[in-house]
Amino acid sequence: MTGSGSVAGDLPEGAEEEFTSAEEEFTSLVGRLLVAMPGMVDPNFSRTVVLMIEHTPEGAVGLVLNRPTEADLLDHLPGWWTAAANPRVVFAGGPVGEGGGLGLARGAGTEPLEGWPEVVGVRVVDLEAEPGVDSGLEARVFSGYSGWGPGQLESELEARGWFVVDGQPEDVFTPQPENLWEEVLRRAGGRYAFFSTYPENPRLN
């Protein structure tokens, strides 16, 4: 598997209105964000924000935007260090293919990978084609990705595992990824903003 997560816990009355049903006609979520419900118990996805970069009836691919690692980019891909947004570390994009890398970038300086669409003003880039020092490129480098097989993501949405909200380029390059989960929910407003105040461990309250 891939990007599946489990959920637990009760929801406030009426919150079910905010979810997408797998029974609805297929709609691609490319360019949108999956925001983990507070009850997500899978440690791979607890309080994560995932940018969807591919979504078809055959499956889906996304990158977790708020899981920086301690791996300094200078030690792993020094050619990308100057272009990288702070913090200049490798991000954990998900539990699939953790030995491989993917890059997201905006601005001039390198070519997008063939077959990947531009989403929210950001494109998937070839990490082997290093940008120039003065390229003006802003980048984020990921190890691994989040993946779903046919119907898996739709089942998780129906099981209330994720909120689906609009993404912005700044979500990819935020200098404070540890705050992204709360910030995205507050920005979405309404019931989403209510969930942004949900404690990481409600049992401690």
Please say if the pLDDT value at position 15 is more than 80. Answer: no
- Which among 22, 17, 11, 7 is positioned nearest to 153, based on CA atoms? 22
Query: Would you give the distance in Å from CA 32 to the centre of its chain?
Result: 9
Q: What percent of the chain has pLDDT over 90?
A: 64
Q: Tokens 């607890």 label which residue? A: 46
User: Mean of the pLDDT values across residues 176-193?
Assistant: 96
- Which among 57, 69, 67, 1 is positioned nearest to 30, based on CA atoms? 57
In this predicted model, which residue has the larger pLDDT, 184 or 4? 184
Q: Which residue type sits at 42?
A: D
What structural domains does the chain harbor? 15-204 (3.40.1740.10)
CA gap 74, 55 in Å, rounded? 32
* Mean of per-residue pLDDT scores for the chain: 85
